[in-house]
Amino acid sequence: MTVHRRLLDRDPAYRQRREEIENLTLARKRARSRGRTGTTLVPVVVHVVHSNLSQNISAEQVASQIAVLNEDFAGRNADLISVPPVWRDALGNGRIVFDLADRDPSGAATTGITRTSTSTAAFGDDDAVKFAGAGGADAWPADRYLNMWVCHLHDLLGYAQFPGGPAQTDGVVIDYRAFGTIGTAEAPFHLGRSATHEVGHWLNLFHIWGDDGLGCAGTDHVDDTPNQAGPNTGVPGFPRVTCGNAPHGDMFVNFMDYVDDRSMVMFTVGQVERMHAALDAARPSFPVMAPQTDPPSGWVHTDLTLAAGAPDAAGKPVVAIQSDGKLSVLYLGVDHHIHALQAK
């Protein structure tokens, strides 16, 4: 919110863009839009900015964070089971897939991870980490990549820029001790939820309590999240009643609260619609892929990744093979598995 208010103060173009995005979002809500159909693909670049060896986190730790994003933004996280039954109907599936970039902005092959050594011991929310000239790493084009910076942050787990801001600072910043689920990740922020929360902001979600301090007048502009006084922390017990929201109370299991990683497990349907409106209004270049459908008649489908001894999914090949007069097509699915379609 500090970054948001700073941009509102200093950048009239941001103020204008924010208004346009909120107007489109409101129009969608009034039209009862259910959001984008199909799955949205978001290529990710992770900029690791380190001042010592431990901050230079492993590729495996980065992959563990991408895996969490793919579960949380698809409603596939195993801990969804902890959602109190009263909110099961409100569960939203974000239908967003995050994929480490395999091409850099110039088209060269990449792991989707950049590594920068810095003499800055700790960064704040002043965006220095986003500029090579200030001890950080420059953003990749924000219309083609979600930029994630991982560094040592003092006093915060992470922060994000809402849609509508300058491309050079677009993305999220996460502390290296709150990123991914292995390596330097430290309890209670060791389940990758800081990034889930910040990417929620990057897709225009506000905090669930409405950012009005501890009052009951603020709103997150989402209808299926209960009105809530202030942030919850730690691991709250159900119900936690504030602002006359009895009997069910605050939805502290929501990713946009401030609770420990193991307590935040869900987005709502309304939050998903808001994120999809933001994609259309401010991030339209991230493509929607058609929903996975049954193979056309006359074709047999096989998931090769699930078959024993399958090759790793690398790149996005679409290969057609003609063998014994039969045609096979190999492709990388939105689920990151290699699939084969073979003519009967």
- Catalytic positions: 198
| 207: phi then psi, degrees, rounded to nearest 5 | -60, 150
Distance of alpha carbon 72 from alpha carbon 77, whole angstroms: 6
Distance of alpha carbon 173 from alpha carbon 127, whole angstroms: 9
What H or E segment, with its residue span, contains residue 16? Answer: helix 12-30
Structural Rg of the chain based on CA atoms: 21
CA angle 106, 111, 112 (to 5 degrees): 70
- CA 27: distance to chain centroid? 24
Contact predicate 129/123, CB 8 Å? yes
Name the residue type at position 125. D
Q: Where do the DSSP E strands lie in 177-291?
A: 288-289
Distance of alpha carbon 230 from alpha carbon 322, whole angstroms: 62
Which bin fits 135, alpha (ψ -120 to 50), beta or left (φ > 0)? left
Contact predicate 153/23, CB 8 Å? no
Distance of alpha carbon 294 from alpha carbon 277, whole angstroms: 28
Burial class (CB in 10 A: 0-12, 13-18, 19+), 23: exposed
Residue whose tokens read 């024993």: 308
